Amino acid sequence: CAAQLTPASTFKIPLALMGYDSGFLVDEQLPALPFKAGDPDFLPEWKQTTTPSSWMQLSVIWYSQRLTEWLGEARFQHYVDSFDYGNRDLEGNPGKHDGLTQAWLSASLAISPQEQARFLGKMVSGKLPVSAKTLRHTANLMRQPDIDGWQIHGKTGMGYPKLLDGSLDREQQIGWFVGWASKQDKTLIFVHTVIQKPGKQFASLRAREEVFAALPARLKTL
């Protein structure tokens, strides 16, 4: 739980907080931004106009990059520092000065499962330096199917570990599913990681499936 890994698309959680706090994001549907030639198009669903809701649901990388480019390096670093997020390293890939758009994508930014849990705990308890409105909008983007009356909020992420020479180990996938379950005055933070060889299913989706399989029994104990 202490080893730091790339946050990959779980970083969309702090990015959403930054977006709503700064005014770049308006609500769950605005701004709706068009896909542009040259944008990352790993999935066909990314090649279309994207809203905050579809950005989070489909993990659209280029929408994240529009947000960080709009923030600029100084504000971006300020937010990461104020959130005390992982190692707070926004350098990006060595020598490329691309941290503004790449730091969280198997590059310099890293966070451990323990740090993810601590960050999420501060978020849900209102201890991050953002407004209640910002927290509410971000939580809305993360909404998952309910379980036995519990509201579930979560985000997947998938990336690759680094080899000793700094290149990516494409033979291993890192999968995340992080978030929280809440019901009345009860809250359970969950952080789950999976490391596997590439297969038919992304490691991130496996992580989510495993959390949803385990949650019902765990929630009954609370």
The residues carrying an active-site annotation are: 9
The position carrying tokens 């291993």 is 172
DSSP per-residue string spanning 71-135: HHHHHHHHHHHHTT-TT-----STTT--HHHHTTTTSS--B-HHHHHHHHHHHHTT-SSS-HHHH
Cβ-in-10-Å burial (0-12, 13-18, 19+) of 30 comes to exposed
**What does each C-alpha distance from 142 to 24, 48, 59, 139, 160 come to in angstroms?**
18, 20, 11, 5, 23
The 3-state DSSP class for residue 165 equals: coil
The 3-state DSSP class for residue 209 equals: helix
Write phi, then psi, for 33 (nearest 5 degrees).
-110, 140
CB 179 within 8 A of CB 153: yes
